[in-house]
Structure 1
Amino acid sequence: MAPEQMAKGGTRLKPGLAACNLHHWMLNHQEIIENNKLYFCTLGGFLIYKLTGRHACHITNAAPTGFVDLTKLAWNPDIICAVGCADFIFPDILHEHEVCGYFSSSYGNIPVFPDIGDHQASVYGALGGLEEMAVISGGTAGIVSVVSKESTPGDHENRPYFNHCYLKTVTQLPGGRNLDVLIDFIEDIGKSIYDVSRNREDIWRSVTSTILNTTNNDNISDVLQVELGFFQGQQGVKHGRIDDIRPGNFTVGSLFMAAYENMADIYITALHKLTGSTVPIKKIILTGGSIHDNLFMKETIQKRSGIETIPSIVQNQELAGLLQLASKINSEHG
């Protein structure tokens, strides 16, 4: 599959795509393929089919499979044939405002709408439906996203969004799992050197307190340099290492401060890739467990980007996004 074909889908070729996994599955299940009528479903699309009998899905869940041509908002027959799925029956691609069908219940016929991608729902919930903001998510992995009215080429993904917009995104950035590598080291010191075992929540609380004490110490002038490239395939960082160790600066506080600063720089670099000179960003919204309540991270991103940075005011952004979409659709349908 040529890069220009993948670019039409707004994503890059990677092992996690449904297109890759399905191709591998087909190589080992020829007897099933030859003897059955096969339907390709997203998970949400399968539930829609069971509830309504309609074979359909939303564009935000269709695109991540690798089979979509975003320029046409339709399935890409070239990639489907390349993978070997020409005989599969693919679902109708619907927009969020379209009714897939109705579920018959004791309460009457309940309209069923398309399945919404979790990333898009989370961004929608964090932004409250507004634009001119960026969302930086520091979950297990880091993600930086901005809403754009057009799909543009570049070192990023163009994911479908709502209201005919796109979600320009850089994924697989360092996040919580990278910081966990450092926590694992501290935990191992406690067990192997001091024969002391503490749960990870207690360790994190102590680390947070240590960072606060370090930032308040005027004598701390030589902070370590940390690169968080601990895992293969991560974006925005190449190496995992600790540099510039000097007498007095190799402390827990300096270690984590340097790690957070590296993470902030990676996120800001990714944001610049997404915005360029075309997408004005007035505010950065932080989500995800590793940065949402992290005051040091918030202040570092704001200082280095020059953009107001605040934690998301809602929890469970995915559910908040679905609720806001449902409310909007309900008002439009009366």
Structure 2
Amino acid sequence: MRYIAIDVGSTFLKAAQLDVQYLAITNMESIRMPEPLPNENPLVKEWNAIQLLELMQGLIDRQLASCPGCKGIWISTQMHGFIITDEYGVAVTPYISWQDERGLEYADKLGSSYFSALMERVGEEAWRRTGLWEKPGVAAVGLFHMLQQADSGMEIEWEGQGTACPVSMNDIQTLGSKRLCTLGGYLIQSLTGSHVCHFTNAAPTGLVDVRAGEWDIDIVRAVGCQALQFPRIVVGTDIVGHYHSRWGAIPVYPDIGDHQASVLGSLADATNEAIVNMGTAGWISRVSDAYHIGEWELRPYFEGSYLPTITKLPGGRNMAVLVRFIADVGQSIYGTALTEDTLWERLLAEADRAAQYFKTGKGQSSNGQLHVHVGFYGKQTVADKGAIDNIDSDNLQVGGLFAAAMEEIAAIYERNLYVLATAGEAIEQITFTGGVIMKNAFLRDAIAKAVGIEAVMAPACDEVFHGLLRLALVSEGLYASVHETREVLLQAIL
């Protein structure tokens, strides 16, 4: 009684088998996400869609070879991005990811950036229906940018997409025969021929009324993409098609947003816990039964509930800026290169040593402790600049640098957790998830101390797979709802 699960993140593509009988995750495989296609514009982040499809299908086929009698395929992917295919499911654009910010380019004919022009066309009231913050890395903005450039007669060639795929921007002008796909929907279309996507992946495109669970025609018209063929939105988790493989016809389930799968797999209590996730980037979230707009994004969850969520928080990539600097010093000045794991281990040890030193008061210089502003990436939440200040002749040391950076990150999470607390009942516990925070005890302790409430680790790693396992248990008919699966998984893991 095993299912195959695919998790397509920003850094890794992973596969595993979900054993619904023994409540186990087995046969895990992981490969790195390919590099984005080369582009002179730093705002553009595109991936070869055909290459991604081959990698995803390769993971599935290798898992099927060792999973006799496979009950089905579950898919979870990164959100916000999109691919346009022809009527046969062949990609005619690269995969445009959530990291793409081409909408920030200035457009002479619009008198503003593409992003600002679209937000003005949509209007605040309509955009609020999406549940999203105004941000450039969503499909609605990328599509608007493409269509505006096509209308201007600009012909942009995409390199590296493959000879089997048309690459001219002019192809976008013939929209009637083209299909909009989420990343997971693109894989489902290739496996089954079905043009569908799950609600949790449709909503992050910025083209959906999150309360109605439908494509928002007003926003679609504002973008100008109404001639596209839109996928059918699936709200539940019923089978959407079959993959006719050499191992037989394998049921395929809808693509689940990696955020929702991660929250589900954290096994946090739905009423009074906040989930703090830190991977490449960071977010905090909680579950709510109410449709309540506030100072957060409101994302669809399962069984009619929502996830008030604060996104674009500092994460692993912020700390990586400092790590790369230290690595460069070691390599260029001393001719020494350490593995990434060894370098992190030593830096965290130095940060801990520095923190202990400051606690004694011995490390307090006349200028006080070093201060690191970690906003090294644009438009992060409450992290709008990158700088190191409060430097004097005594306090600029490696350990103090990293301790100060992590304490700044902890303060940012503290402020945003207070905001999230107003979205429901009082938050009584924090559950940590995500690869970066799981490996960083210093940062976990700093956040817990700043907030002043109990904080625990998610009981299992690979929370996306555990979230998909909970869905598989319901699909198998063993439980009536995902809520019922929490206690049984907690008992199995602990």
- Whether TM exceeds 0.5 here: the answer is yes
Q: Where do 5+ consecutive residues of structure 2 fail to align?
A: 1-121, 151-168, 481-494
- The offset of 1:152, in angstroms, is 2.1
Which of these residues, 306, 312, 316, is aligned with residue 176 of structure 1?
316
- Partner of residue 22, structure 1: 143
Determine if the alignment matches structure 1 residue 7 to structure 2 residue 150. no
CA distance in 1 between partners of 2:416 and 2:373 (Å): 16
- Summarize the Cα distance change of 1:75–1:129 in structure 2 as closer, same or farther, 3 Å threshold: farther
CA distance in 1 between partners of 2:230 and 2:471 (Å): 25
Determine if the alignment matches structure 1 residue 212 to structure 2 residue 324. no
CA distance in 1 between partners of 2:391 and 2:248 (Å): 68
Task: Kindly indicate whether the alpha-carbon contact (under 8 Å) linking 1:293 and 1:311 is maintained by their aligned counterparts in 2.
Answer: no
SS at match of 2:174: helix
Task: Kindly indicate whether the alpha-carbon contact (under 8 Å) linking 2:270 and 2:287 is maintained by their aligned counterparts in 1.
Answer: no
Task: Kindly indicate whether the alpha-carbon contact (under 8 Å) linking 1:284 and 1:307 is maintained by their aligned counterparts in 2.
Answer: yes
Task: Kindly indicate whether the alpha-carbon contact (under 8 Å) linking 1:97 and 1:113 is maintained by their aligned counterparts in 2.
Answer: yes
CA distance in 2 between partners of 1:203 and 1:188 (Å): 12
- Partner of residue 258, structure 2: 118
Task: Kindly indicate whether the alpha-carbon contact (under 8 Å) linking 1:291 and 1:297 is maintained by their aligned counterparts in 2.
Answer: yes
- The offset of 1:103, in angstroms, is 4.6
Alignment of 1:148-187 (within 5 A): 148-187=288-327
Task: Kindly indicate whether the alpha-carbon contact (under 8 Å) linking 1:150 and 1:166 is maintained by their aligned counterparts in 2.
Answer: yes
Which of these residues, 218, 222, 225, is aligned with residue 85 of structure 1?
225
Cα distance per residue 1:182-229 (max 9 Å; x no partner)? 122222332344343333332212111212323333233443222111
Alignment of 1:43-82 (within 5 A): 43-82=183-222
What is the letter of the counterpart of residue 256 of structure 2?
I
Q: Which segment is superposed worse, 179-188 or 160-169?
A: 179-188
- The offset of 1:247, in angstroms, is 4.2
- Summarize the Cα distance change of 1:193–1:83 in structure 2 as closer, same or farther, 3 Å threshold: same
Task: Kindly indicate whether the alpha-carbon contact (under 8 Å) linking 2:175 and 2:227 is maintained by their aligned counterparts in 1.
Answer: no
CA distance in 2 between partners of 1:158 and 1:10 (Å): 5
CA distance in 2 between partners of 1:196 and 1:108 (Å): 53
Cα distance per residue 1:149-195 (max 9 Å; x no partner)? 12322232111111111111111111111112212222233234434
When the two structures are superposed, what TM-score results if normalisation uses the length of structure 1? 0.90
Task: Kindly indicate whether the alpha-carbon contact (under 8 Å) linking 1:135 and 1:145 is maintained by their aligned counterparts in 2.
Answer: yes
Task: Kindly indicate whether the alpha-carbon contact (under 8 Å) linking 2:281 and 2:317 is maintained by their aligned counterparts in 1.
Answer: yes
- Partner of residue 199, structure 1: 339
Q: Which segment is superposed worse, 285-294 or 301-310?
A: 285-294
Task: Kindly indicate whether the alpha-carbon contact (under 8 Å) linking 2:185 and 2:197 is maintained by their aligned counterparts in 1.
Answer: yes
CA distance in 2 between partners of 1:333 and 1:48 (Å): 26
Task: Kindly indicate whether the alpha-carbon contact (under 8 Å) linking 2:175 and 2:225 is maintained by their aligned counterparts in 1.
Answer: no
Which of these residues, 417, 422, 433, is aligned with residue 271 of structure 1?
417
- Partner of residue 53, structure 2: none
CA distance in 2 between partners of 1:104 and 1:242 (Å): 56
Q: Which segment is superposed worse, 247-256 or 66-75?
A: 247-256
Q: Which segment is superposed worse, 281-290 or 171-180?
A: 281-290
C-alpha root-mean-square deviation of aligned residues, in Å? 2.5
Task: Kindly indicate whether the alpha-carbon contact (under 8 Å) linking 1:286 and 1:312 is maintained by their aligned counterparts in 2.
Answer: yes
- The offset of 1:79, in angstroms, is 0.8
- Partner of residue 303, structure 1: 449
- Summarize the Cα distance change of 1:94–1:259 in structure 2 as closer, same or farther, 3 Å threshold: same
Task: Kindly indicate whether the alpha-carbon contact (under 8 Å) linking 1:226 and 1:243 is maintained by their aligned counterparts in 2.
Answer: yes
- Partner of residue 329, structure 1: 475
Task: Kindly indicate whether the alpha-carbon contact (under 8 Å) linking 1:127 and 1:133 is maintained by their aligned counterparts in 2.
Answer: no
- Summarize the Cα distance change of 1:210–1:31 in structure 2 as closer, same or farther, 3 Å threshold: closer
- Partner of residue 262, structure 1: 408
What is the letter of the counterpart of residue 303 of structure 1?
K
SS at match of 1:112: strand
- The offset of 1:312, in angstroms, is 2.0
Alignment of 1:32-51 (within 5 A): 33-34=173-174, 36-51=176-191
- The offset of 1:30, in angstroms, is 4.7
Identity, in percent, stands at 40
- The offset of 1:32, in angstroms, is 5.1
Q: Where do 5+ consecutive residues of structure 1 fail to align?
A: none
Q: Which segment is superposed worse, 195-204 or 301-310?
A: 195-204
Count residues in correspondence: 334
Determine if the alignment matches structure 1 residue 225 to structure 2 residue 371. yes
Cα distance per residue 1:224-259 (max 9 Å; x no partner)? 222111121211122222232244332222211111
What is the letter of the counterpart of residue 227 of structure 2?
D
When the two structures are superposed, what TM-score results if normalisation uses the length of structure 2? 0.62
- Summarize the Cα distance change of 1:77–1:245 in structure 2 as closer, same or farther, 3 Å threshold: same
SS at match of 2:349: helix
Task: Kindly indicate whether the alpha-carbon contact (under 8 Å) linking 1:95 and 1:114 is maintained by their aligned counterparts in 2.
Answer: no
Task: Kindly indicate whether the alpha-carbon contact (under 8 Å) linking 1:282 and 1:307 is maintained by their aligned counterparts in 2.
Answer: yes
Higher relative contact order (CA 8 A, sep 6+): 1
Task: Kindly indicate whether the alpha-carbon contact (under 8 Å) linking 2:176 and 2:227 is maintained by their aligned counterparts in 1.
Answer: no
CA distance in 2 between partners of 1:211 and 1:252 (Å): 7
